[in-house]
Amino acid sequence: MEDENTLSPIEQIRQTEAEVTRRIAAAREVAEKTLVEARAQAAMRKEEARQAGRLEGDKISQQVVSQAEEMARLTLEQAHQQAETLRRKGELRMTQAVAWAVKFVIGLEEEGYPADER
């Protein structure tokens, strides 16, 4: 290869063009590799974000279900307590009603009404 000083101006231009073309091709190749890597990294981050979102959604869903279960448990417990309270009141009132009925019947008998005329 001849020294640049001995090359004609047109040869120097051609040599410079060839060097610039090689550099452009190398830069294009680096840019393409960078783009492929960036796309792969973006896809990986997108999938990671999707998975993180899914996990967070599952976590929130589980919390909501747990809260609903706790509310249902508390509601059921209150219903059982109210039912027990009503049962006790019913027993007390039944006892009071029987006692009243007995007193009423005894009162009638004491007043002279026979049991078969009531």
Residues above pLDDT 90, as percent of the chain:
69
Check pLDDT > 80 for residue 112.
Answer: no
The mean pLDDT value for 52-70 works out to 96
Task: Give the residue carrying structure tokens 């896809």.
Answer: 43
**Structural domains in the chain (count):** 1
Structural domain harbouring 25 = 9-117
Mean pLDDT for 30-52 is 97
Residue 23 maps to a domain: yes
Q: Which residue has the higher pLDDT, 102 or 116?
A: 102
On whether residue 83 sits in a domain, the answer given is: yes
The amino acid present at 83, given as its one-letter code, is A
Query: Is 60 exceeded by the pLDDT of residue 55?
Result: yes
Q: Which of 29-43, 48-62, 83-97, 101-115 has the lowest mean pLDDT?
A: 101-115
Q: Residue 2: inside a domain, yes or no?
A: no
- The pTM assigned to this predicted structure is 0.48
On average, the pLDDT of the chain sits at 89
With respect to residue 3, please indicate whether it lies within any of the assigned structural domains.
no
